[in-house]
Amino acid sequence: MAFLQVTSMEIKISTKQRDYSIYLEHHILEKASELIGNEGKKFIITDSGVPFKWTSLIQKQFPEAKMFVFPCGEQSKSLECYAKIMTWLVENKCSRKDVIIALGGGVVGDLSGFVASTYMRGIKYVNIPTTMLSQIDSSIGGKTAIDFNGLKNIVGSFWQPSMVLIDPDTLSTLSARQLSNGLAEAVKAGLIRDKELFEIFEKDDYLQHIDEIIFRSLMVKKQIVEEDEMEQSVRKLLNFGHSYGHGYESYFKGKYLHGECVAMGMMTILKNEEIRERLRNILLRLHLPVIEECDKDKVAEIITSDKKAAGNKIDIVQVDEIGNGHVETWDISEIRRLLG
């Protein structure tokens, strides 16, 4: 796969919790030790699906560092895996001055971030996202979490990383399915905030623009997170396609990946026919699912079940104009209607 090369880029993120930089650059992983520095011991956390090519590249720059590898997959975002990592940190005498390096996709980032936020009431962590989804979305913004009692991301915290290193070269080992899965979130970012980003996906050679896609998606997320770190208002826009998306994710029980469910969720919610058609063509081009046969009553039930306690209202993001999403508050009874 060919990538358009970007020159090095530093994106500064400013939040109430802390300011930090995202470095976006090809081969930046080779400079990780230079950027992270030698202050504090390093604790690398990764999963079994991250290719040796990338783990060895980081490990050799920190020969003294300890490394914890957990089994890849969403099931590791668990209390059990969290406890194993905590035990490992305690046994290896990780102190408040030390640094966690999260190397992998969103699962590694969410779990390591949660570990970092709670170990000794919070220690530094550097995020090195290696999947499309984590490079454009989950690695910034400070949401960390594990799943519990069958509920996704129910235990977590807001904990900003102290640095994010994004090397688009790591995407070269990713499967086409995982690549498209992440790109669904970039399409979302385009729809809610950046028309030009959306339009990149209407070009046949969109894969030549991966660097720009990453950069633009990060800028959308940066602006939104800086405006509303704790998701009180505008950050809700990032949930476009996610209400139905989460419903599909639970309903299909692992058949579809997160981004694939968001793709279907966006198709379900969009009312504007022209935008819907354009989105449909993009999803087909990316080999993402458009809409799948399902038991609509069940999907609606999943989406509304946890809202019942919250006053029968649900915040839904809608896009009537590309690049300009808005939040609407609905009565939960309307959820079933849109499923047709």
Which residues are marked as active site?
Answer: 121, 143, 185, 221, 231, 235, 239, 242, 246, 258
Measured from the CB atom, is 162 or 272 closer to ligand NAD?
162
**In contact, 145 and 108? CB cutoff 8 Å:** no
Q: Residue from 112, 117, 127, 131 that binds ligand NAD (CB under 6 A)?
A: 131
Site map (CB under 6 A) of ligand NAD, residues 258-287, x = contact:
x-----------------------------
DSSP element (H, E) containing 268:
helix 258-269
Measured from the CB atom, is 152 or 276 closer to ligand NAD?
152
104 binds ligand NAD (CB under 6 A): yes
168 binds ligand NAD (CB under 6 A): no
231 binds ligand NAD (CB under 6 A): no
Measured from the CB atom, is 141 or 325 closer to ligand NAD?
141
CB of 131 to ligand NAD, least distance (A): 3
User: CB 94: neighbour CB atoms within 10 A?
Assistant: 22
In one-letter notation, the amino acid at residue 181 is N
SS3 306: coil
User: CB 238: neighbour CB atoms within 10 A?
Assistant: 24
Query: Could you give the CA distance from residue 286 to residue 267 in angstroms, rounded to a whole number?
Result: 14
| Longest CA span, the chain | 58
SS3 155: strand
Q: Residue from 72, 155, 302, 332 that binds ligand NAD (CB under 6 A)?
A: 72
Q: Given the DSSP bridges, would you call strands 151-158 and 143-148 parallel, antiparallel or unpaired?
A: antiparallel
Q: Residue from 47, 167, 194, 260 that binds ligand NAD (CB under 6 A)?
A: 47
25 binds ligand NAD (CB under 6 A): no
Q: Which residues contact 288 (CB under 8 A, 6 or more apart)?
A: 180, 181, 183, 184, 259, 260, 263
Contact footprint for ligand NAD (CB under 6 A): 47, 49-51, 54, 72, 74, 77, 104-108, 110, 130-131, 133-134, 137-138, 141, 143, 153, 170, 173-174, 178, 181, 258
